[in-house]
A = this chain, B = another copy of it.
Amino acid sequence: MPNIRFMHSDAFIRGGQESAGIVTSDGESSQAFKVHKGMGLINHVFSADSLKKLYPSNLGIGHTRYSTSGISELQNCQPFVVETLHGKIAVAHNGELTNAAQLRRKLMRHGVGLSTSSDSELITQLLAFTPPLENDDTADWVARIKNLMKETPTSYSLLIMHKDIIYAVRDPYGNRPLCIGRLIPVGDMNGKGKDNTETEGWVVSSESCSFLSIGAEYYREVLPGEIVKISRHDVQTLDVVRRSEGDPSAFCIFEYVYFARPDSIFEGQMVYSVRKRCGQQLAIEAPVEADLVSTVPESATPAALGYAQKCGLPYVEVLCKNRYVGRTFIQPNMRLRQLGVAKKFGVLSDNFKGKRVVIIDDSIVRGNTISPIIKLLRESGAKEVHIRVASPPIKFPCYMGINIPTKEELIANRPEFHDLANYIGADSVVYLSVEGLVSSVQESIKARRDNSPKTDKSFIGKLGHCTACLTGDYPVELEW
């Protein structure tokens, strides 16, 4: 079952609720969609019974999202389904339209009432509305999708289901990820059938890491601007809509830094490898005399291993995760409030007592997590604590789908940033440079590009990445 973004990191999510939904089709009648959606974690939304009701079906699309304003937002829950003159369509969307307000006004001026504030409904009604309207008997969905792509440049990865077809679409800038996997026939699971061109079906996902767990293997990415038509046994490129002349592609660089799972593959490279290279680059940019390198478990571990290797320092664990932490009901006194972080980690003090420690973190957003960790390490015997951050400071809001704290909350925009080491209690603190990050990301892509044949369509257009949250340089002009 094709699905979009079943995996999500959670650091930028501010206390949000998750919702989830699946729509399936038996592939015969566009009226026969089966829908199940709900608020909360996937495991709460879907029971064995609710999944059974989605069968039998040959295809389907699913979605998970973080809603930020509570339980009454169920109607914002995706996929969004509407009935049109030409049957039902279901739409799952990852991203955020930069000109949504403009498009909403346009639709409402035509007399369409909008029942949610979600871009998904907006996209769905735009697909239903797109003039000139055909007669009752036929609908040219590809023309409608291309029209939509003309009306809004970014950002969106889309799955659109109609009858027995799913259209997978990525915006011309390729801002949000989308890739295709191939379900491996059972007999081929033992490695023999790797060359076999047969498949049991196709899956689409934001991240390739989800393929393994459902018995699929990575097939390829959907390219920026590409419209892919997926039917039971066939994957076919219908068109590639190009971005404005001269614009480079703009895949979100923060997927590499933070959001994606380390085993996911984007643009031909494993996220883990990029993160390790960021650590190595950081060792070049900001070395430090110390006894050991460690990490805040566990997302910064690849960068820490890269840093340690490049520096020739031992990699040592200083904290262990306390997996049993749950909600904290009562905090009867100051002591517990002081020790919030001590509930999340155990301290392996014998490993670093009397030593100079370098801690690699993947990002510092507000600064209120690293500070008590440093204090904890010092109290447990660390002689020095140096912080190295494997990404540049975040300074600007994202209008393309990532939930970033307000400008005021970001530590990089606050006065304390000028004396950050002192503020967080470290002996020193250095961030990776933007150039260092970009080269860690692009280095191996460029190498492969240089070695690829001219006919390789994957490398069409100018290579680029969206670094807007770091530089304020947005890929498209923002409209309000």
Which A residues form the contact surface with B (CB < 8 A)?
6-7, 34-38, 41-43, 46-48, 50-53, 55, 70-72, 74-75, 80-85, 89, 104-105, 108-115, 117, 121, 124-125, 127-131, 133, 136, 183-184, 186, 189-191, 200, 209, 212-215, 261-263, 269-270, 272-273, 298, 301-302, 305, 309, 314-317, 320, 322, 324-327, 329-330, 332-336, 338-339, 342-343, 346-351, 375, 378-379
Contacts and interface: CB of A to CB of B under 8 A. Distances in A.
Nearest to A191: B379
A335 B7 contact: no
Contacts of A108: 83-85, 128
A128 B109 contact: no
B342 A317 contact: no
A269 B261 CA distance: 36
A115 B333 CA distance: 33
Q: Is the interface of A mostly helix, strand, loop or mixed?
A: mixed
A51 B85 CA distance: 39
B82 A111 contact: no
A41 B332 CA distance: 22
Q: Which 8 A-B pairs have the closest CB atoms?
A: A82-B113, A263-B346, A113-B128, A111-B129, A43-B326, A215-B335, A48-B329, A213-B343
Q: Which of A212, A347, A375 has the most CB of B within 10 A?
A: A212
A50 B327 CA distance: 14
A342 B213 contact: yes
Contacts of A322: 209, 213, 261
B113 A320 contact: no
A215 B339 contact: yes
Contact of A346 (B41, B53, B209, B315): B209
Given A113-B124, A213-B339, 13 more contacts: A34-B72, A38-B71, A48-B329, A81-B115, A112-B128, A115-B124, A189-B338, A191-B378, A269-B350, A270-B350, A272-B350, A301-B317, A309-B314
Contacts of A136: 109
Contacts of A55: 332
Given A270-B348, A329-B46, A131 B114 contact: no
22 contacts: A7-B324, A37-B72, A43-B326, A46-B329, A51-B329, A52-B330, A53-B70, A83-B113, A110-B133, A111-B133, A112-B125, A112-B129, A113-B125, A113-B128, A113-B129, A115-B115, A213-B339, A261-B346, A269-B350, A272-B317, A272-B348, A298-B298
A327 B212 contact: no
A316 B190 CA distance: 25
Contact of A347 (B51, B212, B336, B350): B212
Contacts of A51: 329-330
A327 B261 contact: no
Interface centre among A42, A128, A343 (most CB of B within 10 A): A128
Nearest to A121: B115
A394 B35 CA distance: 35
Contacts of A48: 329-330
A42 B320 contact: no
Contacts of A114: 82-83
Contacts of A112: 111-112, 125, 128-129
Contacts of A317: 272, 301-302, 305
Contacts of A342: 212-213, 215
A263 B348 CA distance: 5
Nearest to A112: B112
Contacts of A209: 322, 346
A380 to B, nearest CB: 9
A189 to B, nearest CB: 5
Given A112-B129, A125-B113, A215 B338 contact: yes
A173 B191 CA distance: 52
A191 B425 CA distance: 14
Contacts of A53: 70, 72
A426 to B, nearest CB: 16
A320 B272 contact: yes
